[in-house]
């Protein structure tokens, strides 16, 4: 029950941090640093801390930070939210060494890619759109 509560709180918190990072009132680092930290809280809550694999957590954090700083407009000429979601999902691939099941990593990659892309395509309200992408980042 506690794990479910932590999961739901972290999903909500990630959505808020993602929005804060996209709002002109806040610095983008709220999203870029905050969402990866929330992701690590979820991973450690659900799967426990494996000290031998500290580097996998650090790599996931750094790759997530990098993925959250771009929408690949430099590559596509426009903000590509499918590519953004793919980058966010791929950032967690190193967690396979920390005993996170591969199917969970692949499910997250799929949810991030398709979820962020479709959410952004069909949502026209910036606040709702950014909160949703923050939720998909954790899911």
Q: Residues of the chain whose pLDDT is less than 70?
A: none
Question: What does each C-alpha distance from 84 to 48, 50, 64 come to in angstroms?
Answer: 28, 28, 11
SS3 85: helix
pLDDT of residue 79: 94
Model pLDDT, residue 11? 95
Query: What is the C-alpha to C-alpha distance for residues 15 and 61, in angstroms, rounded to an integer?
Result: 17
pLDDT reported for residue 49:
87
2-37 pLDDT, tens per residue? 888 989 999 999 999 999 998 877 889 999 999 999
* pLDDT for the residue 22: 86
Eight-state DSSP code of residue 114: I
Which among 16, 77, 89, 2 is positioned nearest to 46, based on CA atoms? Answer: 2
What pLDDT score does 127 carry? 94
Q: How many domains is the chain built from? A: 1
Domain with 42, as residue range(s), is 2-138
Longest pairwise C-alpha distance within the chain: 45
pLDDT at position 53:
92
């Amino acid at each position: 029950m506690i794990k479910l509560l932590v999961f739901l709180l972290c999903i909500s918190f990630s959505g808020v941090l993602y929005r804060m990072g996209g709002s002109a009132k806040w610095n983008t680092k709220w999203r870029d640093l905050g969402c990866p930290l929330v992701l690590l809280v979820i991973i450690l809550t659900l799967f426990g801390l494996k000290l031998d694999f500290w580097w996998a957590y650090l790599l996931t954090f750094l790759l997530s930070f990098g993925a959250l700083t771009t929408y690949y407009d430099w590559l596509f000429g426009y903000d590509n939210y499918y590519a953004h979601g793919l980058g966010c999902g791929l950032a967690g691939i190193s967690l396979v060494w920390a005993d996170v099941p591969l199917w969970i990593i692949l499910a997250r990659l799929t949810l991030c890619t398709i979820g962020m892309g479709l959410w952004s395509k069909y949502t026209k309200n910036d606040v709702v759109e950014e909160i949703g992408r923050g939720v998909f980042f954790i899911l």
